[in-house]
Structure formats: structure tokens, C-alpha cells
Amino acid sequence: MRILITISLLLLCYGPAVAGAAAVAPVALEASLERGLLQQRAGQLDEAVATLRRFVAQTPPSTQTNEAWLALARIALQRHEAEDALLYLGQIPPAQATRPSRLTEGVALVASGRVVEGVSLLQALAPQVSDPAERQQLLVALAEGRHRLGGELEAVVLYQQASQLATSPAVRDHYLDQAHILLRDRLSESDLAEAAFMLTGTAAGLDARLQQAQRAVAAGDAMRGRSLAEGVAAETLPFPYRNDALLLVERLSGKAWLTRSVGVLLPLSGRYGTFGSLVRRGMELAVEEHNAKYPPVEFIFRDAGTEPEENARQVSLLANQDRVMVIAGPLTGAAAVAAATRAQQERVPLLALSQRDGIPETGEYIFRNSLTSQQQVRALVRYAVDAQGLHTFAVLAPENKLGLEMAELFSAAVQQAGGEIVARQSYAESATDFRRQIKLLKGENPDLPDVEVEIPRSGPDKGIKPPPVPLPFQAVFLPDEAARMALVTPQLAFYGIEGAQLLGSNAWNTPELAKSSGRFVEGAVFPDGFFRDSSYPLVRQFVNRYTKKYQEEPSILAAQGYDAAGILLSLLDRPDVRSREGLRIALSQLRNYPGVTGATSFAASGEAEKDLYLLQVKNGNIVQLD
């Protein structure tokens, strides 16, 4: 391969001059370089190599060709072709070598087996490299080099430093895995002790102490092994091998390390304290009912507020000091993201209650049980397209985050179901006049004056109002608050949108909807995750018990808390669920849990899949459709 690359480079450098190839315009060449770099960043490596090699073949040596050679070298390293990377870098004149090109050269030297030379170059560069991504690359290459030269302890330290710069949990854990292998298999007793001391307060330091514990047990010193393992298990620092420490403690002590408990993170004071308290009430009702019949489970509530850092800290405390099996919450978005990230690091299952996008995607230990915008639009579209046979839709949404998000999701769901969004308009959040938007929905010019419909005063049609012009759509989606509908829906009727099916969101589920909007919302349909007037026996029992206990009817937040607690309690009662990993698997396999917020299952992503309630305004009341 190296011979082929060398020949190719000769042809690239001298071929055009020998062949007398026509010059290529500088602008086109710059575009070619940019295209090659974009292809590289997109992972289209074959295309990037072809583009970049054409570029250097057509361009005199310059800083731009140096950039292309560097990109080619980096692609070769991605493909584990270190020798080829060095050949590409050799095309850059030494006097024009930059810090990135020298760094890439050092990495390639180590990877190619020229370890002493590579480590020497990387160590010389180290004081100059401050960019996090470049420094991460340098540390990893130095770790590999030190390992090959017999400096396993130094390699462990370098891998730990690289893990602290990693931008994703998967990459961080990969570096810690490399350190783990060295700690487990390559370090002497004295080096292991030094690693545990040097790396105090880090994940690799905890791993070193765990290895000390396991070696002590293997040598017959179970007392020292247990003491070391218990110390590791009690640490709050995120650590990928904590479960190994827990298992060792349980084996040596003869009893479970984890307690039969659930940690709960909620805002119980401050701006969102009322919402958190409603969730807590629902949970406490579920626990009270459960513990009256089954072995008790403790719910440990923490007022973690809404600050991301505090929620992440509380996850570690609950996982390692309170030793809970699972955590529920938080309720707000930023707090839930931080808590999910830390829970994934701690390998403790977390059932989030926030609607923030992307939370379940944090990792396999993260689940979400909350009513989301995506769930609502899917339920609406299934009803409209599949059950009612509607195919053409209009969207009229407020210009706020939730309104625009739901409009986008609804439009995508309609198109996926084979329907069509005929028209879409938005209005300012504080708007009171919707004439212009309604006219545009109908395909009319809003700048023209309104024309009154003339009723014939004589002839056979005397006194008869002409039939309305057919609408270009069959239904209108209005994702706004119920109070706003008192302004919007009368204007829809006034400007001729009558007979179209009105579709809304769960924000419509309030008695004020029919009172304020009257006949203008008659027949409107919307989804919700909870309907306190449902005829389902399970819901009626919950509403009656909750009302008796708290002297008020439950909200959707209370119902959400009741179901989240019920799901976790049902799994903790299973004889096969005795560890966090067992609980994680049980959550991932949950199907059709009979909750008051609908039958609940979890998708492979960790997202709850629910059968939502479909509600309709009928004779001035909100009733359940299904």
C-alpha cells in the first residue's frame, strides 16, 4: 500500500505539469477544497479522498494544499493507515508545518510503531496544545505510546485526563475502559497503590481502589477487600465500574447493598414548587396504597429545585449514599437533562417526568413518562386520518415555542400519514385580531375589503342565503390555550370557516373552553394524558381516593406522579428485579401498564408510548370519545 501511495503522490505532484493540463480557476479550486473538507466532516471518506487528491493535483503548493494534505492524513488515521498518513504529511514542507500537522504526525508515528519518535514529538508539543479536542487527541496518543514503552501507570493518568475532556459519555467511558484494562491487568501492587493515591477524586482513582479490593480478596484478605469496596461504592463521583464494587460488597457482606427505595427529584419550593408538590401527592397516594398490601418501599423526596448542577449532585447522592434502586424526576427541562446525564454515568435507572426533547436518548438507563407534544399530535392524526377519513388540514398556531413546535410536529405527522397540509399561518402571542391569517388560510387576499353576502330579495331563491364557498381543507389544528380560543374560534366562523373539524391540544381540557367559546368549539376534538371524568373504573377509583385524601380533584401532574410511582412499585415487587440493571431491563420491557394516564409501554428509545384520551366538546361539555 505504501508503494502505491508513493506512486500516486508522484503522479499527483508532477502529472499535471507533464501532461500540460489546463489550469483550473482559483475560485473553483477553493470550492473543491471546501467540498472535500465538508465530505470529510460528514464521514464521506472515499468521496473526500477523491476530491482532495484532485485538488492537490491541480493546485501549486500553498497553505491550501498543506490543508488538503493534512485532511488526507487524518482520513488515513481514521482508517488505521498510519504509514499512509505519514506519507501525506511528508508533502508538507517542514518549514510550513503547523501545530495541527505536527500533532497529527506525532499520532501517526505512535500508531505506526515509531513510538519513541512519536512520544518525543508529542511531549514537545504538549505545552502548546490548549484546544480541548486537540489536547484530547494528544493525551490519548501519548497514553498509547507510554503503554507500548512500558509506562502503564503514566498511561492510566493520561487516559484519565483525556476522559475529562471527552464531550460525550461514550467517548469518556471508552478512555476509562482503556485505563481499566491497564489497572486490572498490567499494574503491579505498588503501581496500583500509587494510582489510587495520585488519582484520588477521579473515576480512574476509584477503579484503582476497586482493583486493590479485588486483589485483596483474591489474596485471602476479605476484610480489607470489603473495606475498600465499601469505600468505592459510597463515593458520589460518576464511575462506570460502580456496579462491580456493589456486587463485591454484597458478596462479602452477604446482604444487598441497594435499599428497597426510590429517589425522587422535584421542585418542592420556589416558582415551580406547586407543580412538584402535585406530583408528590400522586406518588404518596400510590406508595400508601402499595405499602398497605405489599413489602414497603421507601420514596426519598429531594427538593432539587430547577438548577441543573444541583439535580446532578442529588442524583449522585441518591445513588451512592441513599443507595436507591431507581430515581424519578426531575420535572423541568434543564434539570432533567443534567439529572439524566449524571444518572447514565452512575448506571442508575431514571424515570424522567419532563417534556424536554431528547432526554431518553441520553442512554439506556434513561426513560421518560410524560405527556409530550409528539404523543398528542400522533393521537390527533390517527383519529383524524384513520378514524374520520380526513386528508386535508390547515394549521393556525401562536408564535411561541410550544405553538410552533406543535405545528411542526402536526404537519410532519399528517404528511407521514398520507394527508396534506393545505395552509399554515401563525399569529403573535398577544394578538386579538386574526382576520388576516384566516383569510390566508382560505386562500383569499386579506388586503381586499370584505364583501357582504347578498341574499336574493325576489325570485325562487328569495330570502335564501347562498351556500358557502367550499373550504380547501377539512380540519384546522389550533395548538393554543383554551382562553385564546374564545377569541380565535368566533372569528373563524365569522370569516367563513364553518363545518371544518377543529383539533386542539391538551391545553383545551378545561371547563372554561366550552363556557368561553360556546357553540364555536362544539364538536372540537383534542387529546390529553388524563381525564378526571373518565368512565374507566381505574380512573374513578383514583379520583375518589385522591379527592378524599387531599380534598381536591387531581390534576394531570398528580396523575402523572401516581402512575410513575405505580410503575416503579410494580417492578420492585417482581422477584427477578434485585439490581439496578434488572430494573433497567424490566422498564425497557414494560408493556401496557394499566395507568390512569393511559396504558403505558416503553419503546426501545426509553420513551413512553401511551394510549391518550381523546376528548370532544359535546353539547357544551367535554366528553371522552373512546
d(CA 156, CA 175): 9
Average pLDDT over residues 173-199: 96
pLDDT of residue 11: 43
Residues 271 and 346 in one domain: yes
Grid cell listed for 503:
383539533
Bin 475: left if φ > 0, else alpha if -120 < ψ < 50, else beta. Answer: beta
- pLDDT-derived band at 7 (thresholds 50, 70, 90) equals very low
Q: Per the domain annotation, does 551 fall within a domain? A: yes
pLDDT at 251 over 60: yes
- Which of 491, 508, 528 is at the close of a domain? 528
Give domain status of residue 381, yes or no.
yes
Residue 624 forms part of a structural domain: no
- The confidence score (pLDDT) of residue 23 equals 47
pTM for the whole thing? 0.71
Quick one: average pLDDT of 534-551? 96
Rounded to an integer, what distance in angstroms lies between the CA atom of residue 246 and that of residue 123?
A: 39
Q: Mean pLDDT, to the nearest integer, of 570-596? A: 95
On whether both 498 and 554 belong to a single domain, the answer is no
Band of the pLDDT at 74, cuts 50, 70, 90? very high
Residues in the chain: 626
Given a cut of 90, whether residue 237 has pLDDT beyond it is no
Is the pLDDT at 299 greater than 50, yes or no? yes
| Amino acid found at 561 | G
Name the domain boundary from 528, 546, 581.
528
- Burial code (b: 16+ CB inside 10 Å, e: under 16) for 386-402 equals eeeebbbbbbbbbeeeb
C-alpha cell of 407?
405545528
CA nearest 400: which of 422, 376, 440, 431? 431
Would you give the distance in Å from CA 132 to the centre of its chain? Answer: 23
Give yes or no: residues 316 and 293 share one domain. yes
pLDDT at 451: 63
Which residues form the domain of 521? 373-455+466-528
Residues 286 and 342 in one domain: yes
pLDDT at 463: 54
Distance between CA atoms of residues 119 and 106, nearest Å: 7
279 burial (CB, 10 Å; 0-12 / 13-18 / 19+) is: buried
pLDDT confidence band for 27 (50 / 70 / 90): low
Calculate Rg over the CA atoms of the chain: 32
* Residue 17 pLDDT exceeds 50: no
Is the pLDDT reported for residue 352 higher than 70?
Answer: yes
Least confident of 2-11, 20-29, 41-50, 261-270: 2-11
CB 192 within 8 A of CB 183: yes
Give the count of domains, the chain. 2
Task: Report how far residue 16's alpha carbon sits from residue 59's, in angstroms, rounded to the nearest whole number.
Answer: 9
End-to-end CA distance of the chain: 68
148 within a domain of the structure (yes/no): no
Percent of the chain with pLDDT over 90: 83
Alpha-carbon gap, residue 181 to 143, rounded angstroms: 13
Which residue did the predictor score with more confidence, 482 or 2? 482
Q: Is the per-residue pLDDT at 30 higher than 80?
A: no
Same domain, yes or no: 520 and 597:
no
Domain identity same for 354 and 273: yes
CATH number for the domain spanning 387: value is 3.40.50.2300
What is the spatial distance between Cα 499 and Cα 336, in angstroms, rounded to a whole number? 42
Is 288 in the same domain as 433? no
Reported as a pLDDT band with limits 50, 70 and 90, residue 13 is very low
Residue 400: all three cell numbers together: 411561541
- pLDDT given at position 462: 59
Looking at residue 459, its pLDDT comes to 62
Counting beta carbons within 10 angstroms of the beta carbon of residue 588, is it exposed (0 to 12), middle (13 to 18) or buried (19 or more)?
Answer: middle
Q: Are strands 326-328 and 366-368 parallel, antiparallel or unpaired?
A: unpaired
Q: pLDDT at position 235, please?
A: 84
Residue-wise pLDDT for 318-342, tens only, equals: 998 899 999 999 999 999 999 999 9
The reply to whether 306 and 423 lie within a common domain is no
Judged by average pLDDT, the poorest of 33-47, 127-141, 450-464 is: 450-464
Would residue 5 count as lying in a domain?
no
pLDDT of 390 over the 60 cut: yes
Which among 383, 249, 113, 7 has a CA at the least distance from the CA of 241? 249
Does 361 share its domain with 264? yes
Check whether residue 499 and residue 599 sit in a common domain. no
Q: Are residues 557 and 582 in the same domain?
A: yes
* Confidence check: pLDDT of 22 > 60: no
Q: Is residue 619 part of a domain?
A: no
Q: Is residue 483 part of a domain?
A: yes
In a domain, 262, yes or no: yes
For residue 467, what pLDDT is reported? 56
Mean pLDDT in the chain?
A: 91
Q: Is 504 exposed, middle or buried (0-12, 13-18, 19+ CB in 10 A)?
A: buried
Give the best-scoring range by mean pLDDT among 75-84, 246-255, 444-453: 75-84
Do 561 and 418 belong together in one domain?
no
